Amino acid sequence: MWQRNNGQTEAEKLQNRFTAYLLVAVRRQQRDYVIKKNQRIRHELLMEDDTYQTERQTEADILDELPLLIQMENVALQCALEQISERERYVFMARVLDGISFEELGAELGLGYKGVAAVYYRAVSKIRKRMKEVDQNEF
């Protein structure tokens, strides 16, 4: 019959640890699933109108199409993205939003792995710096 697990024997302690491990694993899988789903939805929103347009949209148009909540909460990020070069913005967005590897970006842009990595990390550094400047100016 069923007995209460009060964690006094080694078997019960082991069962409690295993149960805790499973709970953490399931929560992490759930979180990862939701994050990937949200990334896919954001990507689809950005690309939805591209099939009907003949000309490539400018980066400002892409930023304008982001959901209003994202724009309102990340004014500093939006300002920082507008101030970096187009290539840095493209590498940053492709890496962050689409999860494209440095190798794939390098092949697309005609750069090596280290070249794309340098562009990406330079962009991240500039974005952080500009976001701090915007935040300091607001207060």
The residues spanned by each domain of the chain are 7-56, 57-139
Alpha-carbon span 32 to 124, nearest angstrom: 23
DSSP 51: G
pTM of the predicted protein model: 0.48
Residue with tokens 């209460």: 4
pLDDT in tens, the chain (139 residues): 456 667 678 888 878 787 777 888 888 888 888 888 888 888 777 766 555 454 445 555 665 665 543 554 567 777 778 888 889 988 988 888 888 899 999 999 999 999 999 999 999 889 888 888 876 776 5
Cβ 52 vs Cβ 66: under 8 Å: no
CATH number corresponding to 57-139: 1.10.10.10
Centroid of chain to Cα 116: 18
